């Protein structure tokens, strides 16, 4: 056909000629005619031109200039295509042939093993995995006492509504990795014993509310990687034994408050990679068994009206893992997690959090991992971690932190891993890490630090790895503490990466740990004003002349090793020599 007139003469005129009362065309013939029309519309040059003009005008911001006929072409053609596919799927679900269901005798199991798919009479299982099936094999014998069926990794686009009729003992059914775009609502109505149903990685757009109602013993349902947009609120009614539901990687926009009304045994729910914006009150009220909840990669907080209600997590007394990463959350209230007393892992990575109430984590006494990286925090609220004594891993990388105060990590007595890299830290209090007596790994690389405050890493006796590179280290006298620490604990540098000097002068590009007093302080006495405490005055006499460098190295030994007066007696430093060193220091 070359034109719409050709289509009319070939398909429509014969029907009109016989009169509508005598029309004998069946559903499949009607579908064939509609499909031909769709193909024609897609290939006609004038249709393509109209669609192109409409698209270009829309892109250029002149949608009002698109004519009515052009707009109808570009807007209705995809919808027309979708409707044709839906009609075709529904027709095939009642018209296509189905395999032969047998009673389950030994003879019938022998027939099953001779089919194109594999049957195992011992395990009462059947598999057609990865055989490129477009329909179920009509010659295949299926004993009705079958326990497991695997039809995954094929090209099935729909199934007859009676495909599984009578398989009352079936426990496992795998339909994953096909191209299913429609499921008859009564497809599973006889599968009362079914425990696991896998339909992931298909093309399902709509789920009838009645589809799973008869699956009273179902434990696991995997509907991930489809194109589902809307969840009927009653879709899981009567499936009361579900323990795992996976709806990740769909196009779901709503999370109905009563969706899980009957799922009192649910332990794992994955709603990640959807388009959910709001989590409303009451949705989780009865989920006392839930242990893992994933709402990552959604659009929570996208607008002013989209949010998480403070009592959304009410009732989750058994929850261990909560994933909220990759959303658009900006604020955490003080009550939002208050009932999650058994929470072990909380992932808030890659949001837009700029404000956290100081009480937000106060009740999370079991929290072990807190992931707050890639947000917009500019400071750590006071007492935020005061009750987080069980926390062992804290990530704060890629925020906007500029400084750390003395009590920012107060309460983290069990912390082993702290990630502060990729912030804009310019300074932090020398006491900031003092509460972290169990710290093993520390990252403060990729910040704006020019020096470490004296004693910043003292007391971290269990430290195994620290990453310091990619900071603009200024190698003057203030870098003495860092240089000395690196020389003493060089084996603790993460991946052996040495921090490098940014300057001043020709010291730029040098490894900080290789620089000594003469390199850092020669001709830079003014910068030593900040060094304290001073070298204490001794009453002992010097018996051997010492140069100023020897004096100063002795002074540094006193500072860094807290040398006692008794240990310094052997040095026999005279008052005159001490005064000389102090003059240099001043």
Over 60: is that where the pLDDT of 537 sits? Answer: no
Q: By C-alpha distance, which of 90, 85, 83, 57 is closest to 71? A: 57
pTM of the shown model: 0.79
Q: How many CA atoms lie within 13 A of 246 on its CB side?
A: 16
Contact criterion met (CB below 8 Å) for 317 and 346: no
Q: How many CA atoms lie within 13 A of 396 on its CB side?
A: 24
For the record, the structure tokens of 58 come out as: 């829309």
| Residues found in the chain | 586
Summarised one tens digit per residue, pLDDT across range 329-352 is 999 999 999 999 999 999 999 999
More confident residue, 412 or 282: 412
Contact criterion met (CB below 8 Å) for 452 and 482: yes
CATH code 3.80.10.10 region(s) in the chain: 330-471
∠ CA 463-469-471 to the nearest 5 degrees? 120
What separation in angstroms does the CA of 236 have from each of 163, 232, 458?
22, 9, 57
pLDDT value for 20 = 52
∠ CA 415-417-421 to the nearest 5 degrees? 130
55-59 long-range contacts, CB within 8 A, separation 24+: none
What separation in angstroms does the CA of 207 have from each of 100, 160, 180, 212, 420?
27, 16, 12, 9, 45
∠ CA 234-239-243 to the nearest 5 degrees? 115
pLDDT value for 465 = 96
DSSP reduced 3-state for 493: strand
Chain-centre distance for alpha carbon 316: 20
DSSP per position, 236-286? TTT-TT--EEE--SS------TTTTTT-TT--EEE--SS----B-TTTTTT
For the record, the structure tokens of 370 come out as: 């807190």
Q: pLDDT > 70: what percent of the chain?
A: 76
For the record, the structure tokens of 458 come out as: 């003292």
Alpha carbon distance 386, 407 (integer Å): 9
Element (H, E) at 162: none
Over 70: is that where the pLDDT of 313 sits? Answer: yes
For the record, the structure tokens of 21 come out as: 């009362």
First to last CA, the chain: 98
Alpha carbon distance 422, 441 (integer Å): 16
pLDDT value for 575 = 45
Q: pLDDT > 90: what percent of the chain?
A: 60
Over 90: is that where the pLDDT of 521 sits? Answer: no
Tell me the average pLDDT across 429-451: 96
Residue 459 pLDDT level (bands cut at 50, 70, 90) = very high
- Of the listed ranges 69-73, 117-121, 375-379, 382-386, the least confidently predicted one is 69-73
For the record, the structure tokens of 251 come out as: 């196009």
pLDDT value for 112 = 87
Over 80: is that where the pLDDT of 454 sits? Answer: yes
Over 60: is that where the pLDDT of 312 sits? Answer: yes
Over 80: is that where the pLDDT of 118 sits? Answer: yes
pLDDT value for 100 = 86
Contact criterion met (CB below 8 Å) for 398 and 376: no
Tell me the average pLDDT across 181-207: 95
Summarised one tens digit per residue, pLDDT across range 364-382 is 999 999 999 999 999 999 9
pLDDT value for 122 = 92
Over 50: is that where the pLDDT of 545 sits? Answer: no
Residue 519 pLDDT level (bands cut at 50, 70, 90) = confident
Over 50: is that where the pLDDT of 536 sits? Answer: no
pLDDT value for 63 = 43
Give phi and psi for 221, each to the nearest 5: -130, 120
Contact criterion met (CB below 8 Å) for 312 and 286: no
For the record, the structure tokens of 98 come out as: 């189905």
pLDDT value for 19 = 55
- Of the listed ranges 109-113, 203-207, 229-233, the least confidently predicted one is 109-113
Alpha carbon distance 477, 485 (integer Å): 14
Residue 158 pLDDT level (bands cut at 50, 70, 90) = confident
pLDDT value for 25 = 61
Alpha carbon distance 283, 276 (integer Å): 14
Over 60: is that where the pLDDT of 150 sits? Answer: yes
Q: By C-alpha distance, which of 209, 206, 150 is closest to 181? A: 206
pLDDT value for 561 = 53
Contact criterion met (CB below 8 Å) for 360 and 332: yes
Residue 586 pLDDT level (bands cut at 50, 70, 90) = very low
Alpha carbon distance 482, 27 (integer Å): 82
Contact partners, residue 515, CB within 8 Å, separation at least 6:
475, 479, 483, 501, 507
The average confidence (pLDDT) of the chain is 83
Scanning the structure block, which residue is given the tokens 């200024």? 474
Contact criterion met (CB below 8 Å) for 581 and 557: no
* 330-471 carries CATH number 3.80.10.10: yes
Sign of CA dihedral 367, 370, 376, 380: positive
Chain-centre distance for alpha carbon 345: 13
Q: By C-alpha distance, which of 433, 434, 455, 435 is closest to 444? A: 433
pLDDT value for 539 = 34
Over 90: is that where the pLDDT of 585 sits? Answer: no
Give phi and psi for 332, each to the nearest 5: -120, 120
More confident residue, 472 or 76: 472
pLDDT value for 90 = 74
Q: Where are the alpha helices (DSSP H) in 20-96?
A: 27-43, 45-59, 68-95
Summarised one tens digit per residue, pLDDT across range 10-43 is 776 676 665 555 556 666 666 677 777 667 666 7
Give phi and psi for 140, each to the nearest 5: -75, 130
DSSP 338: T
Tell me the average pLDDT across 369-397: 96
Contact criterion met (CB below 8 Å) for 83 and 103: no
Tell me the average pLDDT across 472-496: 93
Tell me the average pLDDT across 490-499: 90
Over 90: is that where the pLDDT of 7 sits? Answer: no
Q: What is the 3-state secondary structure (H, E, C) of 392-454?
A: CEEECCCCCCCEECCCCCCCCCCCCEEECCCCCCCEECCCCCCCCCCCCEEECCCCCCCCCCC
For the record, the structure tokens of 250 come out as: 């769909």
- Crossing angle of helices 68-95/45-59, nearest 10°? 120
Residue 495 pLDDT level (bands cut at 50, 70, 90) = confident
pLDDT value for 560 = 52
Sign of CA dihedral 491, 492, 497, 498: negative
pLDDT value for 165 = 93
Count the neighbouring beta carbons within 10 Å of the beta carbon of residue 406: 14
Tell me the average pLDDT across 60-67: 44
């Amino acid at each position: 056909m070359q034109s719409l007139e050709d289509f009319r003469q070939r398909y429509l005129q014969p029907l009109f000629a016989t009169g509508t009362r005598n029309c004998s065309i069946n559903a499949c013939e009607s579908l064939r005619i509609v499909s031909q029309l769709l193909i024609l519309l897609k290939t006609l040059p004038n249709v393509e031109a109209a669609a192109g003009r409409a698209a270009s005008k829309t892109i250029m911001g002149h949608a009002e200039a698109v004519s009515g006929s052009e707009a109808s072409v570009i807007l209705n053609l995809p919808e027309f295509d979708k409707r044709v596919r839906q009609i075709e799927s529904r027709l095939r679900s009642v018209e296509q042939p189905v395999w032969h269901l047998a009673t389950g005798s030994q003879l019938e199991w022998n027939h099953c093993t001779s089919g194109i798919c594999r049957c195992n009479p011992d395990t009462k299982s059947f598999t057609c995995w990865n055989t490129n099936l477009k329909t179920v094999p009509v010659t295949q014998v299926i004993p009705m006492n079958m326990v497991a069926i695997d039809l995954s990794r094929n090209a099935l686009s729909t199934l007859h509504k009676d495909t599984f009729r009578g398989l009352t003992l079936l426990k496992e059914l795998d339909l994953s990795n096909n191209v299913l775009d429609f499921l008859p609502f009564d497809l599973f109505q006889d599968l009362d014993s079914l425990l696991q149903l896998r339909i992931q990685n298909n093309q399902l757009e709509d789920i009838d509310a009645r589809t799973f109602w008869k699956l009273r013993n179902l434990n696991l349902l995997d509907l991930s990687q489809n194109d589902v947009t809307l969840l009927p609120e009653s879709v899981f009614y009567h499936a009361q034994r579900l323990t795992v539901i996976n709806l990740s990687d769909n196009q779901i926009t709503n999370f109905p408050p009563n969706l899980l009304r009957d799922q009192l045994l649910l332990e794992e729910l994955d709603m990640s990679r959807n388009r959910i914006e709001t989590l409303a009150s009451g949705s989780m009220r009865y989920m006392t068994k839930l242990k893992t909840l994933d709402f990552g990669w959604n659009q929570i907080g996208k607008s002013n009206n989209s949010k998480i209600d403070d009592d959304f997590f009410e009732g989750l007394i058994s929850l261990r893992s909560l994933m909220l990463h990759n959303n658009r959350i900006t604020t955490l209230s003080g009550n939002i997690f208050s009932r999650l007393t058994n929470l072990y892992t909380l992932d808030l990575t890659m949001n837009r959090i700029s404000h956290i109430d100081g009480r937000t984590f106060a009740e999370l006494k079991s929290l072990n991992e807190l992931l707050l990286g890639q947000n917009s925090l500019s400071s750590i609220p006071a007492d935020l971690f005061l009750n987080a004594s069980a926390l062992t891993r804290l990530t704060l990388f890629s925020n906007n932190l500029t400084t750390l105060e003395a009590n920012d990590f107060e309460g983290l007595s069990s912390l082993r891993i702290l990630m502060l890299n990729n912030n804009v830290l310019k300074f932090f209090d020398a006491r900031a890490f003092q509460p972290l007596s169990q710290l093993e790994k520390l990252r403060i690389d990729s910040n704006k630090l020019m020096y470490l405050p004296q004693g910043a890493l003292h007391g971290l006796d269990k430290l195994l790895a620290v990453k310091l590179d990619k900071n603009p280290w200024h190698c003057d006298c203030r870098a003495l503490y860092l240089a000395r620490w690196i020389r003493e604990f060089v084996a603790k540098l993460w991946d052996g990466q040495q921090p490098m000097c940014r300057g001043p002068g020709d010291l730029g590009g040098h490894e900080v740990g290789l620089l000594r007093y003469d390199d850092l302080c020669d001709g830079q006495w003014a910068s030593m004003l900040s060094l304290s405490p001073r070298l204490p005055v001794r009453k002992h006499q010097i018996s051997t002349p010492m140069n100023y460098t020897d004096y100063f190295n002795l002074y540094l030994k006193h500072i860094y090793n807290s040398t006692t007066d008794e240990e310094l007696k052997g040095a026999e430093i005279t008052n005159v020599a001490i005064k000389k060193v102090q003059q240099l220091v001043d």
